[in-house]
Chains A and B, each alone.
Chain A
Amino acid sequence: EVQLVESGGGLIQPGGSLRLSCAASGFTVSSNYMSWVRQAPGKGLEWVSVIYSGGSTYYADSVKGRFTISRDNSKNTLYLQMNSLRAEDTAVYYCARDVVGYSYGLGYWGQGTLVTVSS
């Protein structure tokens, strides 16, 4: 059974850094493209970043240069390193996996982890 479990969220001051983790089970992270999607309180879904099986990474303009997506194949875990955090980064962050290779249909989602950026 495919499972995704995010962790690492919390309250952080503006300008601070946080690393989110997404522990995967039931499949191999490095064999799929994995995404981070966020949702600000009361707002819609916003795509944040993707890492492809080959290792290529892409980011939304709103986080480019501040966030870094990565994975640890030995731990079967996806990460999102978030630096220079801003109030507008406050959101629930979800990790997600495609339902079938490169369909860009995110068929598996974690429960989300809340990041609050506030002084």
Chain B
Amino acid sequence: QSALTQPASVSGSPGQSITISCTGTSSDVGSYNLVSWYQQHPGKAPKLMIYEVSKRPSGVSNRFSGSKSGNTASLTISGLQAEDEADYYCCSYAGSSTPVVFGGGTKLTVL
């Protein structure tokens, strides 16, 4: 099972919006509405930001939103803040034999 494809880095200024893409295949992202997104600050455990494509766990800011079109999922962060600077990973269910696949990660820099 190949990893999902994410851009290595994205950047934006405070207050702006950015979008991180996550491209999979018809065997994972394209077939299931089970895409999740994680934020990870250096030295910390990952934090779930979005699950089931667009649902936000309790406590996650509504500045974070998720969507999907075909084999590509997206995470949008609006009103960028300094504390949003982190690594972001997408993840998808990929079927019963190898259920989970992660993306390679995207480093978000807030300029």
Q: Does A90 contact B (CB under 8 A)?
A: no
The B interface is mostly helix, strand or loop, or mixed, namely strand
Given A45-B38, A45-B89, A45-B105: A104 and B48 within 8 A (CB)?
no
Interface range, A side? 20 to 34
Scoring B residues 79 to 111 as 1 if CB is less than 8 Å from chain A, else 0, what string do you get?
Answer: 000000001010111001111111111000000
Q: How far is the CA of A105 from the CA of B36 in the complex (A)?
A: 6
Given A61-B98, A104-B93: A99 and B45 within 8 A (CB)?
no
Interface range, B side? 20 to 34
Chain A residues lying within 8 Å of B98, measured Cβ to Cβ, are 58-61
Q: Does A50 contact B (CB under 8 A)?
A: yes
Q: Does B18 contact A (CB under 8 A)?
A: no
Q: Does A46 contact B (CB under 8 A)?
A: yes
Chain A residues lying within 8 Å of B46, measured Cβ to Cβ, are 37, 45, 94, 106, 109
Contacting pair B102 A103 (CB below 8 A)? no
Q: Does A47 contact B (CB under 8 A)?
A: yes
Q: 10 tightest A-B contacts by CB?
A: A105-B51, A44-B105, A47-B100, A109-B45, A105-B36, A104-B34, A107-B48, A104-B93, A45-B102, A103-B51
Residues of A within 8 A of B (CB): 35, 37, 44-47, 50, 58-61, 94, 99-100, 103-107, 109-112
